[in-house]
Amino acid sequence: MEILEIQNLNKTYGNQKALSDISLTIPKGGIFGLLGPNGAGKTTLIRIINQIIEGDSGEVFFKGEILQSKHISRIGYLPEERGLYKKMKVWDQLVYFARLKDMPAALAKERVGYWLKKMDIISWKDKRIDDLSKGMAQKVQFISTIIHEPELLILDEPFSGFDPLNAEIIKNEIIELKEKGITIVLSTHRMESVELLCDQIAMIHRSHKILEGRLTDIKQQFRPNTYEVTLSGITGILPDRMNARTVNGNAVFSLALGQDSPNSTLTALMQYGEVVGFKEILPSMEEIFIQQIKNHSYE
Amino acid sequence: MNKIWLVIQREYLSRVQKKSFLLATLLTPLIFPSIMGIFLWISIGESENPSLQIIEVVDENNIFFIESSEQYAFSFSKIGAEEGKKMVNDGDRFGFLYIPKIDLSSPSGITYFGEKNPSMSLISFLESSIKRRIEEQRLFESGISPEAINAYRTKVSIKAITLDNSGEEKVTDATVNYAIGFLAGIMIYMFIFIYGNQIMQGVIEEKSSRIIEILVSSIKPFQLMMGKIIGIGAVGLTQFLMWIVLIGGVSSIVMGYFGLQMPQQQAMELANPELGEMMDGQNNIQNILQVINGIDFIQLTLTFIFYFLGGYLLYGAFFAAVGAAVDAPSEAQQFMLPITIPLLVGYLGLFVFVLNDPNSNVSFWLSIIPFTSPIAMMGRVSYGVPLFDLILSMSLLVGGFFFSTWVAGKVYRIGILMHGSKVNYKTLWRWIKTN
């Protein structure tokens, strides 16, 4: 079942189109990557899901119902531009945010206590945000988005501002939340974290959706049909197009198969030596991302 | 509704718990009575132990006599004008009054020379002394004996009574009404500016710290704006009530220490002994008490609170809109004009028109139009205002408040999410027009 269903969503600012006929299906559970270069329309889409702004036309459904204000408390949002009340104490601030999301006071306090302990910052609870380091404040910010136990969590560049150690902590928290059945929409430029975390992705470029699907399917779809070949004991001279490197006495090169099948290629390769390795090269998300943006920019 | 309440609580507590709030609340009421106390102390000290100033008088007519007071002694002589000026220059005399030969029917050419600018009270004292002497002299010349003049001298003070429809009579005194209207108007004016500014600062803080994006994903912008306006208004009301209690307490201590002197009366007596003499002490205090009894304090307080809050809410929404439209306080200046102008019109109108003639046409309109009424109406209320005018003004103020929050809400909603874009009046107008 899908937690979020977006149908033909449009949004225009003045004479600038921010979203053109976007339709998306975000299934329940799992991590959904929302990709696209700066200015593609991701933030507009996220703001519409958070009911900060409204679309011009089209529908958004949350668990089958038209998105409405009662759903606000079911969604958590970490914006790309972070912000907390600088003069407010950590504890008061988190309780305030939880209660703004309709959580009863007693439960809010219990959850704040739980999360501060879990993130190892309980001793900071009476400090003002001014007095915290940037990474510490980011942790508080992260807690503030999940404190009300949302079903859908929207994270816009969640790793920016964290050092590698804290980024790792946040990454593990995200995986843990996913295992609890929370759906996470991850908007990021960091393709390595997309590859690591996302089950599904959608790519937006210049207000249009240009790609959507399961990460593994997309990788299959865009594989260049290229294999990495490792030969030992080379007999004869390799054709020019095989730019071989020498690794541990073996020749290693990548080979674009073109129209040939892997088996026929293998047969052909045998005459040059012993085939000790023959592995398909799948494209990285980074490569797919750049390729897609380039393709659609020239249209 | 529940969320507005949360915002109100946060805005209120975060300000009330600040040290600066406590300091301002405690120190401000101390400042006024302290200044008053110092003033009283100096004036009492002066009148108890006056340093006598000698003023040389040359009268070419040989008819004038000026009675010396505790502060000034008058020495009459026949020296020349130049010699008199020299005495002032040498510091032998505080001042030199020269009365040339004058035509009693149109006296002119009387001159005072002093090293320092003479005080208003000295000049008016000299003027009234000379005037009285001329009048006496002229009456005498027309054959009326000084005894008869004294016998005919009468004191008149008019007791003003307003009649209301029920036939009830109230003693009124324009001075008391003036003072009440003046104080109430100024307080509302200051309250709107001080706390309106706090609203604006608060909105800019939320916008520039980017916390706004998180807030509006939890609460509707309009609720957030209203919560902030109401919360800060409550802070102002708290501070205001505490001031009244503190000022009342400290003032009565100061007054008690100096022996229950009515400060206004004493100041007036110092400034103009003739007036003091006329204001026959006992009778006057009784009169003021009677006037104060005649004022419906419950009505006055209720209308004050109504206009106090109504004016604040109406302008508060505009302050919030300005805060939302800019990225930093320094940019806010360009949008302050539409707020400052009507407030200033109300403030100046209060002094120029309303307090002087509460029932003129200009006063009527100033007290009806919602942008000026919170300040201007207070000037009329103290004199007594027709019920119809009051109801019309109040309903228009409520209407004005709905209008201003509606307009401001539209600007606020869009403005808070705009960063780094140049905003001008045209942009604001476009925001107001969008749904």
pLDDT in tens, A135-192: 888 899 999 999 999 999 999 988 887 888 888 988 999 999 999 999 999 998 888 8
* Residue B50 confidence class, pLDDT cut points 50, 70, 90: low
- The contact set of B with A (CB < 8 A) is 2-3, 6, 10, 14, 206, 209-220, 417, 419
Query: Across residues A25-51, what is the average pLDDT?
Result: 91
- Residue B98 is which amino acid? Y
Query: Across residues A79-95, what is the average pLDDT?
Result: 91
Pick B27 or A9 by higher pLDDT: A9
In angstroms, the CA A161 to CA A14 distance is 33
Asked if A96 is an interface residue toward chain B (Cβ–Cβ < 8 A), one would say yes
Share of chain A above pLDDT 70, in %: 98
In angstroms, the CA B221 to CA B234 distance is 20
Taking Cα atoms as reference points, which of A2, A26, A22 lies closest to residue A11?
Answer: A22
Closest to B210 (Cβ–Cβ): which among A50, A77, A82? A82
| pLDDT score of B56 | 86
pLDDT in tens, B64-80: 878 787 778 888 888 88
A 73-92 residues inside an 8 A Cβ radius of B: 75, 77, 79, 81-88
For residue B71, how many other CB atoms are within 10 A of its CB?
18
Asked if A231 is an interface residue toward chain B (Cβ–Cβ < 8 A), one would say no
Query: Across residues A51-74, what is the average pLDDT?
Result: 91
What number of residues does chain B have?
435
Cα dihedral A229→A233→A239→A244 (10° resolution): 50
Rounded to a whole number, what is the distance in Å from the CA of B213 to chain A's nearest CA? 7
Rounded to a whole number, what is the distance in Å from the CA of B326 to chain A's nearest CA? 17
Closest to A100 (Cβ–Cβ): which among B3, B206, B419? B3
Cross-sheet strand order for the sheet of B53-59: B72-77, B53-59, B95-99, B111-114
Please list every residue in chain B whose beta carbon sits closer than 8 Å to the beta carbon of residue A85: 14, 209, 211
In angstroms, the CA A8 to CA B29 distance is 63
Q: Is the pTM of this model over 0.95?
A: no
| pLDDT score of B273 | 46
| pLDDT over 50 at B323, yes or no | yes
Rounded to a whole number, what is the distance in Å from the CA of A221 to chain B's nearest CA? 37
What are A103's two structure tokens? Answer: 């959580």
Contact criterion met (CB < 8 Å) for B211 and A83: yes
Contact criterion met (CB < 8 Å) for A83 and B6: no
| pLDDT over 60 at A43, yes or no | yes
| pLDDT over 70 at B1, yes or no | no
Rounded to a whole number, what is the distance in Å from the CA of B425 to chain A's nearest CA? 17
Rounded to a whole number, what is the distance in Å from the CA of A50 to chain B's nearest CA? 5
Q: Which residues pair with A250 in a beta bridge?
A: A247
User: Which of A13, A52, A145, A148 to mutate: most B Cβ within 10 Å?
Assistant: A52
Closest to B211 (Cβ–Cβ): which among A69, A84, A99? A84
Q: Alpha carbon of B252 to those of A265, B34, B183: distances in Å?
A: 106, 12, 19
What are B182's two structure tokens? Answer: 């003046």
Contact criterion met (CB < 8 Å) for B217 and A72: yes
Write out chain A in H/E/C secondary structure: CEEEEEEEEEEEECCEEEEEEEEEEEECCCEEEEECCCCCCHHHHHHHHCCCCCCCEEEEEECCEECCHHHHHHEEEECCCCCCCCCCEHHHHHHHHHHHCCCCHHHHHHHHHHHHHHCCCHHHCCCEHHHCCHHHHHHHHHHHHHCCCCCEEEEECCCCCCCHHHHHHHHHHHHHHHHCCCEEEEECCCHHHHHHHCCEEEEEECCEEEEEEEHHHHHHHCCCCEEEEEEECCCCCCCCCCCCEEECCEEEEEEECCCCCHHHHHHHHHCCCEEEEEEEECCCHHHHHHHHHHHHHCC
Q: Which residues pair with A279 in a beta bridge?
A: A228
- Residue B213 is which amino acid? E
Query: Across residues B124-152, what is the average pLDDT?
Result: 83
| pLDDT score of B294 | 63
Closest to A72 (Cβ–Cβ): which among B6, B10, B218? B218
Write down the mean pLDDT value for chain B.
Answer: 81
In angstroms, the CA B112 to CA B98 distance is 6
For residue B435, how many other CB atoms are within 10 A of its CB?
4
What are A248's two structure tokens? Answer: 């541990």
Taking Cα atoms as reference points, which of A286, A257, A48 lies closest to residue A154?
Answer: A48
Asked if A16 is an interface residue toward chain B (Cβ–Cβ < 8 A), one would say no
Taking Cα atoms as reference points, which of A12, A17, A28 lies closest to residue A64?
Answer: A28
| pLDDT over 70 at B293, yes or no | no
Query: Across residues A103-130, what is the average pLDDT?
Result: 92
Burial profile A13-24: b = 16 or more Cβ within 10 angstroms, e = fewer: eeeebbbbebeb
pLDDT in tens, A30-40: 999 999 888 88
- ∠ at Cα B150 (B147, B155), nearest 5°? 165
Please list every residue in chain B whose beta carbon sits closer than 8 Å to the beta carbon of residue A50: 216-217
Q: Alpha carbon of A202 to those of A73, A253, B148: distances in Å?
A: 25, 33, 110
Asked if A11 is an interface residue toward chain B (Cβ–Cβ < 8 A), one would say no
Query: For residues A89 and A55, is the Cβ–Cβ distance under 8 A?
Result: no
In angstroms, the CA B418 to CA A208 distance is 23
Out of B155-159, B164-168, B383-387, pick the least confident: B164-168
pLDDT in tens, B327-380: 888 888 888 888 999 999 999 998 888 888 888 888 899 999 999 999 999 888
Pick B45 or A267 by higher pLDDT: A267
pLDDT in tens, B185-219: 888 998 899 999 999 999 999 998 889 999 999 99
Please list every residue in chain B whose beta carbon sits closer than 8 Å to the beta carbon of residue A84: 209, 211
In angstroms, the CA A27 to CA A64 distance is 12
Asked if A134 is an interface residue toward chain B (Cβ–Cβ < 8 A), one would say no
pLDDT in tens, A191-250: 888 888 999 999 999 889 988 899 888 888 888 888 888 888 777 677 766 677 777 778
Rounded to a whole number, what is the distance in Å from the CA of A120 to chain B's nearest CA? 23
| Torsion sign across C-alpha atoms B23, B193, B244, B7 | negative
For residue B190, how many other CB atoms are within 10 A of its CB?
11
Burial class for B143, CB neighbours closer than 10 Å (0-12, 13-18, 19+): exposed
Least CA distance to B431: which residue of chain A? A14
Rounded to a whole number, what is the distance in Å from the CA of B243 to chain A's nearest CA? 26
| pLDDT over 60 at A128, yes or no | yes
Please list every residue in chain A whose beta carbon sits closer than 8 Å to the beta carbon of residue B217: 50-52, 72, 75, 77, 79
Cα first-last separation, chain A: 35
Contact criterion met (CB < 8 Å) for B213 and A52: yes
| pLDDT over 90 at B181, yes or no | no
| pLDDT score of B268 | 47
| pLDDT score of A272 | 82
User: Which of A100, A141, A146 to mutate: most B Cβ within 10 Å?
Assistant: A100
The highest-confidence range among A65-79, B133-147, B266-280, by mean pLDDT, is: A65-79
